[in-house]
Amino acid sequence: MVWLSRQQEDTLIEIAKGGDEVAFEQLFTQYLPLINKWYRKLNFAQQLVDRDDWQQECRMVLFNTLNRYQGRHAGEFATYFRLNVRNRGFDLKRRQNARKRQSDQDDEALDGQAETIQIPSHHPDGLALVVLKERLDEVQSELSAFEAEVWRELMNGVDLAEMTIRLKCSDRRLRNAINRCRIKFTKTLQPTGND
């Protein structure tokens, strides 16, 4: 690879800004080591962004950088491009982590909660029913007013989208309340050593 002088790079930048694809690709090739370095540094897990996709993202970053670059009096092009590549990588990494968190939340499906609570296969006797009712009352007394509303809606089979409208709350607040309810009920209904 032949490294460009400052004057050659400035000329190439101006030509690429004018829409010349060959100049654009030559400039992109010049910065390919930097692009590959950031790909390794960001260490995208589970190949959600493969190398070709990353390079395509960096081509868009180069295009935007060229359009915004105001010449050497404003700073070095390489520094500006490196900063933009790094920031784009961080954005993609945040999206990847957000998708992973969302996926983890989706895995905790509400209808799968019965699996976490061990219910005996035989019919409980009167004493077991009394103990169960006392535990349920105990949990419900620990719920906040909002959690109690959310729990009633869940027990009535209302879906989450409709619940956010009925309770006038965000999806995130609703999911957090459901998660807190689930934790409280699971903790209280776990069999103790006496059961």
Same-domain check for residues 134 and 103: no
Length of the chain: 195
Q: Is residue 62 within 8 Å of residue 27, measured between CB atoms?
A: yes
Same-domain check for residues 80 and 134: no
**Cα–Cα distance, 51 to 59 (Å, whole number):** 12
Q: Model's pTM, two decimal places?
A: 0.48
Number of domains present in the structure of the chain: 2
Lookup result for tokens 């829409």: 19
Q: Is residue 115 part of a domain?
A: no
- Tally of CA atoms within 13 A in the half-sphere of 31 that contains its CB: 28
Q: Residue type at 18?
A: G
- 3-state secondary structure at position 4: coil
Query: What integer pLDDT is reported at residue 55 of this predicted model?
Result: 85
Query: What integer pLDDT is reported at residue 70 of this predicted model?
Result: 82
Same-domain check for residues 86 and 156: no
Same-domain check for residues 31 and 99: yes
The first and second tokens of residue 57, run together, are: 């993202």
Query: What integer pLDDT is reported at residue 100 of this predicted model?
Result: 66
Same-domain check for residues 148 and 71: no
**Alpha carbon separation from 77 to 2, 139, 161 (Å, rounded):** 18, 61, 47
Domain that holds residue 130: 124-189
Q: Where a domain ends, among 80, 107, 134?
A: 107
pLDDT tens string, the chain, 195 residues long: the values are 567 777 888 888 888 888 889 989 988 888 888 888 888 877 655 555 777 888 888 899 999 998 888 877 767 888 888 888 888 888 877 877 776 666 555 555 544 444 444 545 555 556 666 777 777 777 777 888 888 888 888 888 888 888 889 889 888 898 888 888 888 877 776 665 555
Q: Where a domain ends, among 78, 107, 136?
A: 107
Same-domain check for residues 46 and 136: no
Same-domain check for residues 176 and 147: yes
Q: Where a domain ends, among 107, 140, 164?
A: 107
Lookup result for tokens 């950088």: 65
**Cα–Cα distance, 183 to 50 (Å, whole number):** 37
Query: What integer pLDDT is reported at residue 111 of this predicted model?
Result: 47
Lookup result for tokens 């989450």: 160
Query: What integer pLDDT is reported at residue 74 of this predicted model?
Result: 65
Query: What integer pLDDT is reported at residue 46 of this predicted model?
Result: 52
- Tally of CA atoms within 13 A in the half-sphere of 7 that contains its CB: 0
Q: Is residue 32 part of a domain?
A: yes
Contacts of 124 (CB under 8 A, 6+ apart): 132
Same-domain check for residues 71 and 128: no
**Cα–Cα distance, 149 to 151 (Å, whole number):** 5
Element (H, E) at 11: helix 6-17
Query: What integer pLDDT is reported at residue 136 of this predicted model?
Result: 75
**Cα–Cα distance, 106 to 99 (Å, whole number):** 10
**Cα–Cα distance, 17 to 28 (Å, whole number):** 13
Q: Is residue 184 part of a domain?
A: yes
Same-domain check for residues 91 and 144: no
CATH number of the domain that residue 56 is part of: 1.10.1740
Query: What integer pLDDT is reported at residue 155 of this predicted model?
Result: 82
CATH number of the domain that residue 141 is part of: 1.10.10
Q: Is residue 118 part of a domain?
A: no
Query: What integer pLDDT is reported at residue 94 of this predicted model?
Result: 81
